Amino acid sequence: MLTDFADGLSDTLDQAFNEPDAAERRRQHEKAATVIRKYLDRAANDPFIHDLESNPFVPITAKATLVSTLGTLAKLIVA
């Protein structure tokens, strides 16, 4: 499952943070936004996440945690 979330978002955000050129930084933010949308879709529809959250032993809120964190990132890079 984690390999589905390994598209280099961290590297893209790092490149944007360190980019002195505003236009290139914006391109990196757009690239990151695309990855975040993919992650949000994956978090919402991943059967493994559903199985984790519906296990009868321990309550887990993986989807809510992922969606909240990714939503915050998305808002920050647009600002």
- Determine how many CB atoms are found less than 10 A away from the CB of residue 32: 24
CA-to-CA separations, 63 to 31, 43, 59, 60, 68, in angstroms, rounded: 23, 6, 12, 9, 8
pLDDT tens, per residue, the chain with 79 residues = 556 666 788 889 999 999 999 999 999 999 999 999 999 998 899 999 999 999 999 999 999 999 999 999 999 987 6
pTM of the model: 0.80
